[in-house]
Structure 1
Amino acid sequence: MKNRTSNRPARALWLALAALPLFFASCASVPELGGMMDRGGTRNRKILVKLGEQKAYLYQHDKMVAVAPISSGREGKDTPRGRFSVVEKDADHRSSLYGNYVKNGKVVKENIDIRKGGRPAGSKFQGVPMPYFLRFSGAYGLHAGNVPGYPASSGCVRLPKRHAKRFYDAVRVGTPVIVQR
């Protein structure tokens, strides 16, 4: 009878080699920033948002080190263009304009703009979560949120959560943010 355990190392090697292209493909679009953090901290970094491409890029020393899909402001709620800088970082930010009215732990009116309409009696406003918020101009910032593949936000730049965390961890207050068409 043939020993079945003798083929295990060969099979494991074959599986590892087959998985390498998938590993490198995923790293090519959004590299891990952890090791990079030890080389230069957060200095000499900038964020470039290209609205036409619906992508955000992170640069260090003018070398692109990460890219992420985004969802920017929809028609009538445009994301401001120009040169800005990160003025606030808030990992647990909530919107002060958009959210739900809640009473006794239950949503009584959802998807509201606090500037429009009235508040139901006995309810309180609960802003939409905007994790890993990087404010760059007024009420606008980059943060984790729904990224459907087209402009759909109220003006902020949404990134998938894992990308938002990477950008958040990679920059500091004062980091340049450039938003262009």
Structure 2
Amino acid sequence: MTSIARLRLAALALTAGLLASCATAPKQAGTGNAVPVAQAQLPYEWTHGHAPRATKEAQALFGTVAMKPGQYRWATTIPDAPARVIIDRMQQLMFVYKGDTLVGVTTISSGKKGKETPLGYWKVFRKQVKGFSRKYDNAPMPYMQMYDPMGIAFHAGALPGYPASHGCVRLPLEFAKKLYGLTTNGTEVVIEG
């Protein structure tokens, strides 16, 4: 078993803790059952620092992260470094890094109640410019990047300003195109919130 697989198994075991104040329960990766997540029990890198730090960096770089649904910001210069994606379900934002440099931030629409986008640490393992959902009537998933073996991905889609998907993370079309060109199989994805 690889170290990443061991880390994921250990992290999944940690998600079994309960938080009395947890209003909604995100899905545990790999199952259809909703499991409350105890924030204090998740690994540090999942819940502490990524999204708040990214928000501060976005404010410094772009002046604000207050955007209307479908809006995004993209840096004018992109360093030559590996990409990394941070998704904040609470703020409904995605942050894209190249190395340690923030290069983009966008509004998203994550999974709706009962179909919440799972929290955790992932890696992109499949990319398709013209992706289609196998679960939901062959629904189009343009610029699809799969990171969860249960079929959850980020891709271009409708952005109503609140969580509305079946678990995937929807992005503005132009942002999805730019992101598709930056990532590779193995790109790290962190989902918080």
| Fold conserved between structures, TM > 0.5 | yes
One-letter amino acid of the counterpart of residue 73, structure 2: V
1:62 Cα deviation (Å)? 1.6
Partner of 2:93: 55
Between the aligned partners of 1:49 and 1:167, the Cα distance in structure 2 is 13
Q: CA deviation at 1:44?
A: 2.3
Q: Which residue does the alignment assign to 1:165?
A: 177
Matched, 1:134 2:172: no
* TM superposition shift of 1:137: 0.7
- What RMSD over aligned residues (CA atoms) do the two structures have, in Å? 2.1
* TM-score, normalised relative to structure 1: 0.64
User: Which one-letter code corresponds to 1:142 in the other structure?
Assistant: F
Shift of 1:60: 1.4
Does residue 80 in structure 1 map to residue 122 in structure 2? Answer: no
Question: What is the 5 A alignment of 1:64-79?
Answer: 64-79=102-117
Could you say which residue in structure 2 is the equivalent of 1:174? 186
Give the number of the structure with larger relative contact order, counting CA–CA contacts within 8 Å between residues 6 or more apart. 1
TM-aligned CA deviation for residue 64 of structure 1: 1.0
Q: Deviations over 1:54-74 (max 9, x none)?
A: 010101122211001100000
TM-score using structure 2 length: 0.60
Partner of 1:31: 74
User: Where does structure 2 lack aligned partners over 5 or more consecutive residues?
Assistant: 1-61, 64-71
Q: What residue number does 1:154 align with? A: 166
Shift of 1:98: 0.8
2:189 and 2:161 mapped to 1: Cα distance?
21
CA distance in 1, matches of 2:133, 2:82: 29
Q: 4+ residue stretches of structure 1 with deviation over 2 A?
A: none
d(CA) in 2 for partners of 1:51, 1:93:
23
**Which of 1 and 2 has greater Rg?**
1
Partners of 1:136 and 1:98 in 2: CA distance: 17
What amino acid does structure 2 have at the position aligned with 1:155? G
Matched AA of 2:141: M
Identity, in percent, stands at 36
**Equivalent AA in structure 2 for residue 144 of structure 1:** A
- How many residues get paired? 125
| Partner secondary structure for residue 177 of structure 1 | strand
Q: Please, which runs of 5 or more residues in structure 1 have no aligned partner?
A: 1-23, 100-126
